[in-house]
């Protein structure tokens, strides 16, 4: 043992990296490898908008138009004031700039931006739904968000949207007048649950079908919310065309150097990768719970919730075929691995939408980068870090922080929707 230990210890010392990162004399010249990485981030590399196999209506133009109306309709709430657009404001990159969202009451997490979400296999910070339509049905029945029930949805749709609905989905069920408007499945609320059980089995099915259909219409609209080119994309295009002079007019040297850091030393590209700057996967980067809030298990809970979700890809109301739903079929069920892990947010338009992280814990980009700097330093200190944080990048200096922020600002472009 004695003989073995010494050479191993010495080799650790010799291998310890120095992290020297000299500023390149010309930040606008890139190696082929770097160009390949820049191409992987370029919006032009995004594959065509996927068609969700679990939603037969998601490319139907009538459904898209209907979904757009529902998205902004505050009649779909207990106080008549809350719609999807309350928390996902179209002019604010479909989010609300609040640390934690507020509907009927305060929620425990921050509203998420919506652009490009049709590309994500999992929705919500913990990925507890696996399609945009299953996702849309969450807030409507959540007491702190829209605060209504699926039974109430039947009433609202037949009062205000009968024709539109029936043209797409067929007849609206006639409901027995004795049913309570608040009836919905609510295992945690015995009173509401018993109201739901008072509904006949057949009507429960018909109500839930209508509910799923309005989810599918809303999802058809949300799917159309996409990013358009940002200065970064213009820069990338200029590089691909070999037009360095043009490239220099699009990004400053500081911004280009920030890009270099992003794809190399700072390793942001490990998770914020692909044309949407997200792998749509779950990581614990070590953000502490919001002050005064319980610790959030994140994906560790989402794994069980999505498998139990009645509207998931393998469920009765899904339109998917037997060969679909690969993500759900091969889901990683290792809850320990995903303890405190949250979905990697897209960084497109990120500078426009503070505050940051799943409960708005960090006020601005500077705080975010300071956080990453500290997390990495904690990690490289000997014996001084716990299990869980996935941050592995090299040391980020205070100057690097400024460059990285300068680069993140080049990711803002227009957001388009139907």
Per CB under 6 A, the list member of 175, 250, 357, 411 interacting with ligand HEC is 357
- Terminal-residue alpha carbon distance, the chain: 68
Distance of CA 190 to the CA centre of its chain: 32
Question: Closest distance between ligand HEC and the C-beta of residue 18, in Å?
Answer: 19
Q: Which helix (H) or strand (E) is 203 found in, with range?
A: helix 201-222
| DSSP string for residues in 36-71 | HHHHHHSGGGPPPPPP-TT-TTTT-HHHHHHHHHHH
Cα–Cα distance, 368 to 352 (Å, whole number): 14
For residue 22, the partner it binds in other proteins, ligand HEC, none, with Cβ less than 5 to 8 A by kind, is none
Q: Residue 115's closest CA among 277, 225, 275, 272?
A: 225
Question: Closest distance between ligand HEC and the C-beta of residue 407, in Å?
Answer: 8
Per CB under 6 A, the list member of 38, 41, 43, 114 interacting with ligand HEC is 114
Scanning 54-62, 156-164, 325-333, 351-359 for contacts with ligand HEC by CB under 6 A, the matching segment is 351-359
Q: Residue 411's closest CA among 223, 226, 224, 228?
A: 228
Environment class of 31 (CB within 10 Å of its CB; exposed 0-12, middle 13-18, buried 19+): exposed
Cα–Cα distance, 205 to 185 (Å, whole number): 12
Chain residues 56-115 in contact with other proteins, contact rule CB under 8 A: none
Environment class of 226 (CB within 10 Å of its CB; exposed 0-12, middle 13-18, buried 19+): buried
Cα–Cα distance, 90 to 350 (Å, whole number): 15
Cα–Cα distance, 266 to 211 (Å, whole number): 45
Per CB under 6 A, the list member of 63, 148, 247, 368 interacting with ligand HEC is 368
Task: Indicate whether 225 belongs to the interface with ligand HEC (CB under 6 A).
Answer: no
For residue 4, the partner it binds in other proteins, ligand HEC, none, with Cβ less than 5 to 8 A by kind, is other proteins
User: Contact at 8 Å (CB) between 89 and 74?
Assistant: no
For residue 287, the partner it binds in other proteins, ligand HEC, none, with Cβ less than 5 to 8 A by kind, is ligand HEC
Per CB under 6 A, the list member of 135, 195, 230, 412 interacting with ligand HEC is 135
Tokens of 278: 């997200």
Task: Indicate whether 415 belongs to the interface with ligand HEC (CB under 6 A).
Answer: no
Task: Indicate whether 218 belongs to the interface with ligand HEC (CB under 6 A).
Answer: yes
Tokens of 257: 């150097």
Cα–Cα distance, 281 to 270 (Å, whole number): 11
Cα–Cα distance, 40 to 34 (Å, whole number): 10
Task: Indicate whether 282 belongs to the interface with other proteins (CB under 8 A).
Answer: yes
Per CB under 6 A, the list member of 273, 372, 403, 411 interacting with ligand HEC is 372
Tokens of 10: 């010495």
Task: Indicate whether 332 belongs to the interface with other proteins (CB under 8 A).
Answer: yes
Task: Indicate whether 256 belongs to the interface with other proteins (CB under 8 A).
Answer: no
Per CB under 8 A, the list member of 2, 91, 202, 294 interacting with other proteins is 2
Tokens of 41: 């981030």
Per CB under 6 A, the list member of 42, 57, 66, 125 interacting with ligand HEC is 125
Question: Closest distance between other proteins and the C-beta of residue 98, in Å?
Answer: 29
For residue 394, the partner it binds in other proteins, ligand HEC, none, with Cβ less than 5 to 8 A by kind, is other proteins
User: Contact at 8 Å (CB) between 101 and 110?
Assistant: yes
Of 151 and 344, the one with the shorter C-beta distance to other proteins is: 344
Residues lying near ligand HEC in the complex (CB under 6 A) are found at 71, 82, 84, 86-88, 101-103, 107, 109-112, 114, 117, 120, 123-126, 132, 135-136, 139-140, 145-146, 218, 222, 266-268, 270-272, 283, 285, 287, 342-345, 347, 350, 356-358, 365, 368, 372, 390-391, 393, 404
Residues lying near other proteins in the complex (CB under 8 A) are found at 1-2, 4-6, 8-9, 11-13, 15-17, 19, 31, 33-34, 36-37, 40, 121, 263-265, 267, 269-271, 273-274, 279-282, 326-327, 329-334, 336-337, 382-383, 385-387, 390, 392-394
């Amino acid at each position: 043992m004695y003989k073995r230990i010494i050479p191993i210890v010495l080799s650790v010392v010799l291998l310890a990296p120095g992290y020297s990162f000299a500023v390149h004399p010309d930040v606008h010249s890139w190696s082929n490898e770097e160009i390949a990485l820049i191409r992987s981030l370029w919006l032009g590399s995004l594959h065509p908008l996927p068609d969700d196999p679990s939603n037969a209506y998601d490319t139907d133009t009538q459904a898209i138009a209907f979904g757009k109306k529902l998205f902004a309709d505050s009649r779909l709430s207990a106080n008549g004031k809350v719609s999807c657009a309350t928390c996902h404001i179209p002019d604010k990159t479909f989010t609300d700039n609040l640390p934690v969202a507020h509907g009927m009451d305060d929620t425990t997490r921050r509203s998420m931006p919506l652009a490009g979400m049709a590309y994500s296999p999992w929705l919500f910070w913990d990925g507890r739904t696996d399609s945009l339509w299953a996702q849309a049905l969450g807030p409507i029945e959540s007491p702190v968000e829209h605060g209504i029930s699926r039974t109430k949805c039947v009433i609202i749709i037949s009062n205000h949207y009968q024709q539109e609905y029936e043209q797409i989905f067929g007849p609206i069920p006639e409901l027995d007048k004795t049913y309570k408007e608040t009836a919905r499945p609510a295992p945690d609320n015995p009173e509401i649950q018993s109201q739901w059980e008072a509904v006949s089995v057949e009507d429960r099915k018909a109500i839930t079908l209508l509910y799923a259909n309005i989810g599918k219409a809303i999802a058809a609209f949300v799917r159309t919310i996409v990013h358009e080119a940002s200065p970064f994309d213009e820069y990338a295009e200029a590089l691909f065309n070999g037009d360095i002079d043009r490239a220099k007019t699009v990004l400053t040297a500081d911004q280009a150097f920030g890009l270099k850091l992003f794809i190399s030393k700072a390793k942001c590209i490990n998770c914020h990768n692909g044309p949407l700057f997200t792998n749509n996967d779950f990581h614990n980067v070590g953000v502490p719970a919001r002050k005064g809030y319980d610790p959030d298990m994140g994906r560790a809970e989402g794994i069980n919730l999505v498998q139990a979700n009645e509207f998931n890809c393998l469920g009765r109301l899904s339109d998917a075929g037997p060969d679909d739903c690969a993500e759900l079929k091969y889901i990683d069920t290792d809850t320990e691995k995903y303890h405190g892990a949250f979905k990697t947010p897209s960084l497109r338009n990120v500078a426009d939408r503070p505050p940051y992280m799943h409960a708005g814990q960090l006020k601005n980009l500077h705080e975010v980068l300071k956080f990453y700097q500290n997390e990495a330093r904690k990690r490289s200190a000997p014996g001084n870090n716990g299990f869980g944080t996935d941050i592995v990048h090299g040391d980020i200096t205070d100057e690097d922080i400024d460059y990285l922020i300068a680069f993140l600002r080049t990711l803002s472009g227009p957001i388009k929707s139907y």
